[in-house]
Structure 1
Amino acid sequence: MPVEAINRPDAEDLSALDVKPSRELEGANHLLDDHAALERFYEDNGYILLRGVFDSDAVAAARDEMLAVAVKLGLVEPGDESGRWTGTPLPGSMEESPLYAGIARKLIEHPVNLAVMEKVLGEPACAVPIVQYRTYPPGGPVTVVHQDGFYSPGIQDYKPVWVVLTPCTRDMGGLALAIGQNKRGYFHNVGKPSPYPFPRDAVPDDAWATTDYMPGDVLIVHPYTPHCGLANQSDRLRISFDSRVQSAANPSAVAATVKAVTPNSVTVDAEGLGERTFVVDENSFIRVVHPGVREKFDGFADYTKPGMRLVVVRDGDRAVMLRKAAEG
């Protein structure tokens, strides 16, 4: 029976440290020129893994840009393309640091790579202005088990994209996915506070899979697929980012600057749309202050300020989601 929602305040939580993948992810390069077959694989399994499809020079350029930030932070030595960790601690949350701005978008929108994304979507693609960058050292952050669609409602036909920029063997903490679990609804436990962790028994232990990832590989994760980053037990940084792609002709998510706010609306200057006013209500998924925390609707006009850069996910003139922008 499909899981529509979970509300179990007394349930034991599922940690990424509990995930022990026993299965191997399958490559789907052979389906890339058959969109219907590729989409069936995606819906059946909850992911698409494409090996070595991104332009190698563009991947190397993105790697060098991310490593340059790591050098600036003292995490790696200059000139070390392997990303071997110096032992310097990661300085707090860096996933959406402006130091990385533009790296992901430039890589995804390279003509060779954008052609791959067009085959994945079945139509011309563009980047969603949401990116998280990972330069995770050994013993560093471990992402919670989650489903991207739970935190990003309303983006129609978008596909989350995960890319590694240096070799990411299993000991480095690559992504693990629960195969075929994308067909059972959301597992996030709304009986617990944000980030609404999964109950420990929600996902079968034998559903989890991973692989060794290489630069140029692209992993497309279904918005309903449970997944997490595993612990980095190597001596190198895990250099990767995750973004999303959507229809270029009919994008649901747009980057915008807040112009004015009322208790029930937000007026923005939106890229490609101009100045627009959107209705905001108690069902809007609001996280404009911190991208990982849903804010309460009460007080919306107090904490949403003119000048903020947001991602607006729209359905007509209603804001389905408002999120602090990370424009990649």
Structure 2
Amino acid sequence: MSTVLEAGVLPAMQELHVSNDILDDRAALQAAWERDGYWFFRNVLDTDAVGRLRGVFLDELSQLGMIAPGDPAARYSGKNLGDFPFRMEPLAARKTWKPFVAEPAVDRFFTRLLADEPFWIPTVEYRATPPVQDRSRSRFDYVHQDGFYNAGIPFAICWIPLVEIDADVGGLVLAEGLHKGPYLHDLSQPPLFPVPDNAVPAHAWRRTTYRPGDVLIMHLNTPHTGVANYSDRFRLSMDIRVMGASGDTPIIGEITAISQHEVAVQGEDGRSGAFTLDESTYCRGIDGRKVPLDEIPLHFHVGDEVILASRDGRVTVLRPPH
């Protein structure tokens, strides 16, 4: 049975499995990952560190007039959203994620989980999602699989709630166990290749009430989506990508030369080189769309910061960090 996305209705779904009891059991962690396509941990991130990150979001929303100064609940003031930065570009420009992952307690948790030094990929979403005004549409925002748009980068997705997020506030839902099959994205519908509404069976969806200190870590092929916010306050979360530093990490750096057939980069860690671009390369624009080869020099320029993954000298994915 497939999901029927009725306007304004969040389908009934089961709770996420909690993985706290297997955190130090590598075999059990791997088995859960292969079975479910995610780990969900309760209250494992230092709440003071999460609180400092939340404070940055609250300060920005207060300066924008979207919440009252000092309101920890982030209740929406009702101000017109016409100029609201829905991608929280001011936080992205400040690279707000860096101080958070550098917090000693946060670093210790991810080192413990990965059994490796964490390698952070600066594909970060700062989400301050206001209450929806139009409740006539499905509550699912956009079902997708990150791996489809990021071929060759074997990261995990870390979704971090900064406030309590119940069913009214929305949050994130995922399709358990569907990371093992083929991509669900419709290849006949470029350039975004959306997942058809009926592609995910209703029984696969999972969610929970999320709280500060929790973290949801997903396989890059796990289908998931945000859920429309039906509360009176902003939904605050951050998601970022991570992998073990000893793995096949992408180059993060600046473009030094670019054409429709080749790109050269200088990485922050000293890695550099020139790599071939072809029709199989997913050159991703800021909006997630696949950029045609002949348009690549129009979207990417010398000096741009990029993430590049390659195989045998050929680029599998080229994308901006946001």
Superposition TM-score, scaled by structure 1 size: 0.88
Q: Does 1:226 align with 2:218?
A: no
SS at match of 1:134: strand
Q: Does 1:147 align with 2:145?
A: yes
In the superposition, relative to structure 1, how do residues 318 and 247 fare at CA in structure 2: closer, same or farther (>3 Å)?
Answer: farther
Alignment-derived partner of residue 125 in structure 2: 132
Count of residue correspondences:
313
Q: 1:134 to 1:99 in 2, by over 3 A?
A: same
CA contact (8 A) 2:88 2:127 kept: no
Distance 1:300 1:190 in 2: 20
Q: Percent identity?
A: 34
User: Is 2:296 aligned against 1:300?
Assistant: yes
Contact 2:265 2:273 in 1 (8 A): yes
Counterpart secondary structure, 1:183: coil
Report the CA distance shift for 1:307/1:50 in structure 2 as closer, same or farther (over 3 A).
Answer: same
Equivalent residue number for residue 97 of structure 1: 89
Note the residue ranges of structure 2 that are not aligned, 5 or more in a row: 134-138
- Root-mean-square deviation (CA, aligned residues, Å) is 2.3
Contact 1:291–1:323 (CA under 8 A) maintained in structure 2: no
In 2 relative to 1, CA 153–265 (structure 1 residues): closer, same or farther, beyond 3 Å? same
Evaluate the alpha carbon distance shift between residue 16 and residue 179 of structure 1 in structure 2; reply closer, same or farther with a 3 A threshold. farther
* Contact map agreement 1:109 1:127 (CA 8 A) in 2: no
| CA distance in 1: counterparts of 2:180 and 2:247, whole angstroms | 25
Q: Secondary structure at the match of 1:319?
A: strand
* Aligned amino acid, residue 77 of structure 1: A
Compare 70-79 and 108-117 and name the one that shifted more.
108-117
Q: Distance in 1 between matches of 2:198 and 2:238?
A: 29
Q: What's the TM-score, normalizing by structure 2?
A: 0.89
Cα 1:17–1:161 shift into 2, 3 Å: farther
Amino acid at match of 2:117: P
Measured after TM superposition, the shift of residue 310 of structure 1 is 1.2
Number of the residue aligned with 1:183:
180
2:60 to 64, 69, 80: 69
Q: Which moved more, 1:269-278 or 1:203-212?
A: 269-278
| Structure 2 Cα separation of the partners of residues 16 and 187 of structure 1 | 22
Q: Deviations over 1:274-314 (max 9, x none)?
A: 542222211111024x2421111123234321121111123
Q: Is the 8 A contact 2:176 2:204 kept in 1?
A: yes
In structure 2, the residue matched to 1:33 is 24
d(CA) in 2 for partners of 1:164 and 1:42?
Answer: 21
Contact kept in structure 1, 2:141 and 2:226, CA below 8 Å: yes
Structure 1 250/143 Cα, relative in aligned 2: closer, same or farther at 3 Å?
A: same
Could you say what secondary structure the match of 2:293 adopts? coil
2:315 counterpart (297, 319, 322): 319
Q: Tell me, in whole angstroms, the C-alpha distance in 2 between the residues paired with 1:280 and 1:194.
A: 18
Counterpart-to-counterpart distance in 2, 1:44 and 1:300: 38
Task: Give the Cα separation in 2 of the matches to 1:207 and 1:74.
Answer: 39
